[in-house]
Amino acid sequence: MNIFRKKNLRLTNSEAEEMLTSFNHADGNHNPKIFRPRSGEVVFYWSDQPEKYKDWLSDGFKWRNQGGKKPFPVDKPVLFKSYYHIFDKGIINKNIIKDVYTLIDKPMPVLIHYLKKNNDSDSEIECESGPHGNTKDQEGAQNYQRTMPSVLSELKEKVAKKVPNLVYKETSKKKGARDLKQIQNLRYAVNRQKRFTYDEIANCHLMHISLGYPNHILTAPDIRIIGVDEELLKETKKTMSAFNKDNRLAKSEKSPAVPLAFFFHEKKFQKSHDEFWRYMSEILPEFSECGFIITDCEDAFRNAIKKYFPSVPLLRCWNHFWKSTERWIQSNKKLTIEDVGFYCESLRELLLQPNKEMFKCNKLVNNVTIRKHRI
């Protein structure tokens, strides 16, 4: 790091003004980055990139601004002065200070003086900044190190277009984010700025008025919000009508499912699910002619479907059924760990049979009553 001067006493305003006015970046006595300077060092920070004008704030220490941009002299100001006290183990140490000077009409250069008040000799600034202020585990967390403002600005632009995991993988560990959590917080901050207001319910109504989405909003006595993709709804109607009228064959391909509608609700009551399926029966009556519906084991959800689409057969999702049965077997306190494993494995093997005949045959072989307990 380039040291412009060493002084164990605080700079006067006239000295700082003289240094700033005589500065020439072509001399090469400035720094594009400052990291953990020593006491008494006077350094220049300079950059020709506007996005890096504030990178001098990241110097490896944690500071508290005690007075920002005071003009000197008062009658005819020429420069701004700010001074900082250092954080040491979460406590402000007023014996270690940082004075920052800039010209009024120029953002660059920045003159910075680091100093220990009770030490006249050139020495290292030894301190522990402590964890980040928002860290829940204050004792086990690492020391906080500030990320450069230019890096934060770059990360904000990236997280607006990509998910945090990809942004974290693409950034350099030396010049990138502190960790994945920092990028996730930036994504959250960027998304907050895109909101209409900080009231989520009001945002839904504003979106409905301006965008037409979500389609149906009910906020009392509890929240029920339905969102339907209009373009996908048209395509669904075409597909169902072509399949039912022309008796065309549907081609099966391995591809992710495309959601047609979303339902946000607070309570898992049948009244809530009735609201959703009533709305679906109005906008998509062709749904009553489909083959079947696969659901989980929630009775309220299944009863709501039966109410508005009584002719549609309901099938249970294999994974939900298996997990529910497994929990039920484990809740039997009379069974040992070996018994639970045996019954769960027998049930899984039974459900994996390719046809009805094999199912019946396997059911006789792996009869779950062969042990002491009947479930």
Q: Where are the domains of the chain?
A: 5-116, 149-193, 200-245+258-314, 319-370
Q: Tell me what pLDDT residue 346 has.
A: 81
Cα Rg of the chain, angstroms: 34
What is the distance, to the nearest Å, from the Cα of residue 92 to the centroid of all Cα atoms in its chain? Answer: 31
Question: In the prediction, which pLDDT does 353 show?
Answer: 82
Class of domain 5-116: mainly beta
**CA atoms of 43 and 57, how far apart (whole Å):** 13
Task: Provide the 8-state DSSP code for 28.
Answer: -
56 vs 58: CA distance, rounded Å: 5
pLDDT score of 107: 92
Q: What share of the chain in percent tops pLDDT 70? A: 91
**pLDDT below 50 — which residues of the chain?**
245-246, 368-375
| Whole-number pLDDT of residue 252 | 64
In the chain, the amino acid numbered 290 is C
Q: Residue 371's pLDDT is what?
A: 47
Asked if 153 and 134 count as a contact pair (C-beta separation under 8 A), the reply is no
